[in-house]
Structure 1
Amino acid sequence: MNIVITAPFEPEQLDTLKKDHSVTFLPQKEGVPLRTETELHKLLLETQAEIFVCESDKVTEQVLDGLTRLKMLCVCRAGLNGVDVAACTKRKIAVTNTAGRNAGAVADMAVAMFVSVARYMSVGERALREGTWDNDLYYRLRGIELSEHVAAFIGFGAVPRALAKRLLAFDMRLIGYDPFVTAEEMAEHGVRKVDLETAFREGDFVSNHLPSMAETKGLIDKKLIGLMKPTAYFVNTARAATVCDEDIISALREHKIAGGAFDVFNTEPLPLDSPFLALDNVVLTPHLCGASLAVVKNHSRMVAEDIALFAAGKRPVRLANKEVL
């Protein structure tokens, strides 16, 4: 089959695909704007693409029009924003994603955020850099240990499952909310299933893992944040749109909760006048949680596996629009 790849891809998996398929590898270069709809359509038309593997390309109705040979679209990320899945489904094009490709990377960073915000690591570093380290700093910056405290997962997909494994090693108690995951499945990961309000009420660390969709936009608001303990921390390594900025900033500014850690923001890059930057009880990172060298290796393996299944006439493991097969 003719495969066109514009995503970064591991050489070993690329060589595996080349053994059975004709592969055109044109990875998107850093700092270079994405192809326009017209340019992307032309590329896929001229290469007679039957399978297209992308990461950031916008695959719209305009791109798809007239691509009668295209049968499969593999997206090298979890989210399918920027991909017109309905238009693909209408054309019987199978769409796959690579949910979980960076689960380990994000989970590692989440642990770092838990420790950093609870032990005042960024505050301590500022004291060092600004020359304000005094004899009382040790006592002012005494924080809590993770052991025996409660981590509450809001959403229980690939990342919180990886995070649960790590936090159990810290002797944390784990609870989770996800209407689509059974209590039995959560229990397999050492997590007790609770309702949404209980998760916010009981968590010492409330860790957001909700996907961005119409039903979750702004879901974490003043009402839920108001249930949190004054000693609790809120951590967001998932999607900024699921949290009401005004409400979480207000709670942090007024110290209604102990602190927060954020890797994602509704406006990125974060403007220098953002109220997040004025807070003294937060850890902020510039959307780096998934930035691991292993991510390309992981999504390449996932895509290669699904292409092999599709080429053999079988359903891909990560098929997003199951109605096409």
Structure 2
Amino acid sequence: MTKPILYITRKVPDQIVKKITSNFDVRMWEYEDQPVPRNVLLQEVRNADGILCLISEQIDKEILDQAKRLKIISNMAVGYDNIDVLAAREKGIVVTNTPDVLTETTADLTFALLMATARRLVEASDYIRNDQWTNWSPYLLAGSDIHRKTIGIVGMGRIGHAVAKRAKGFDMSILYHNRNRNRNAEVELQAEYTDFESLLRNADFVVSLVPHTLETDQLFNKEAFAKMKSSAIFINASRGKVVDEDALLHALHTKEIKAAGLDVFSTEPIRRDHSLVKLDNVVCLPHIGSASVETRTRMLQLCIENLEGYFFGKGPKTPV
């Protein structure tokens, strides 16, 4: 029996590949630190029965039109805005993602980013690296307290709920806004549901954990930042395109808000000359929300389980 052809768009550990070669004819882009070139992806997809891809690969209509044999796209991410899901559905191609396995790890990073931004940790580390520390003074690199403040979580899904649990440990008051009420968070964590504008006006920390959709595109715009406290800190660990970056830059320059911590950007990767990187009151990270060895390995394993379930089992575990 001919094995299904699986194309993997980024180099993964050899031990993972060895486990699946008995079931799949594996072809793989051989570089871990750079995405597959589009012309290569266009060529490879023509013969692939399955694709294992990352969020960095745009699987759009042009790619799908070349995919004459493709049956399943296994996306190594929770979000799937890199895939034209409607076009895939029209062609009968299954799309899967990796929910749940990265919830706690991403919540860890989100709260760590909040803490680093509030307490100016990156700035303080650079202060020593640049040999600027010559004496102690009362307000040297003084940041903002986190405990007993109010956190406003926009997007109270699995990750939002996990971030709220961490906030509870700091005696924070929890506001949230979501398409649907999260009754579990309200009962378990005393989280208070509120409208978007009220959250912006009252939160000391505004945390974005929403997916990028037509409704959330540039949700955090000039009007949104203008409603926030001048002492507010904005954290984005969701998708870059939910933020109008020009509006954020203006809000930071004019001190409409105090600071921002960003793990995602409208166009990635960014370079050191990016306007937001140049600001001392912004902490920028290279989209590492789920980047622990354990979690990334579990995500990859779930991708493979989805592929094996589709071709050899009762179906994929986590279809979109």
Q: TM-score, normalised by structure 1?
A: 0.81
Q: Distance in 1 between matches of 2:140 and 2:49?
A: 62
Contact 2:277 2:283 in 1 (8 A): no
**How much does 1:218 deviate?**
1.6
Q: Distance in 1 between matches of 2:60 and 2:272?
A: 33
Partner of 1:217: 217
Q: Distance in 1 between matches of 2:100 and 2:20?
A: 22
**How much does 1:157 deviate?**
2.9
Gaps of 5+ in 2: none
**How much does 1:301 deviate?**
2.8
Partner of 1:226, secondary structure, is helix
Q: Which has the higher contact order (CA 8 A, sep 6+)?
A: 1
Pairing of 1:1-325 with structure 2 (within 5 A): 2-6=4-8, 7-9=10-12, 17=20, 21-31=23-33, 34-37=36-39, 39-40=40-41, 42-46=43-47, 49-55=48-54, 56-65=56-65, 67=67, 69-135=69-135, 137-179=137-179, 181-187=180-186, 190=189, 191-311=191-311, 314=314, 316-320=316-320
CA RMSD of aligned residues (A): 3.1
Contact 2:58 2:82 in 1 (8 A): yes
Q: Distance in 1 between matches of 2:259 and 2:278?
A: 13
Partner of 2:230, secondary structure, is coil
Count of aligned pairs between the two proteins: 315
Partner of 1:186, secondary structure, is helix
Q: What letter is aligned with 1:148? A: R
Contact 2:260 2:283 in 1 (8 A): yes
**How much does 1:319 deviate?**
1.7
Sequence identity of aligned pairs in percent?
26
**How much does 1:14 deviate?**
5.3
Contact 2:262 2:285 in 1 (8 A): yes
Change (3 A) 1:58 1:272: closer
What's the CA shift string for 1:123-148, capped at 9, x where partnerless?
A: 33343234443555343433343221
Contact 2:35 2:57 in 1 (8 A): no
**How much does 1:13 deviate?**
6.1
What's the CA shift string for 1:227-259, capped at 9, x where partnerless?
A: 222222111122222112232222222223222
Contact 2:5 2:24 in 1 (8 A): yes
Partner of 2:74, secondary structure, is strand
Partner of 1:109, secondary structure, is helix
Partner of 1:143, secondary structure, is coil
Gaps of 5+ in 1: 321-325
Change (3 A) 1:77 1:135: same
Partner of 1:105, secondary structure, is helix
Partner of 1:323: none
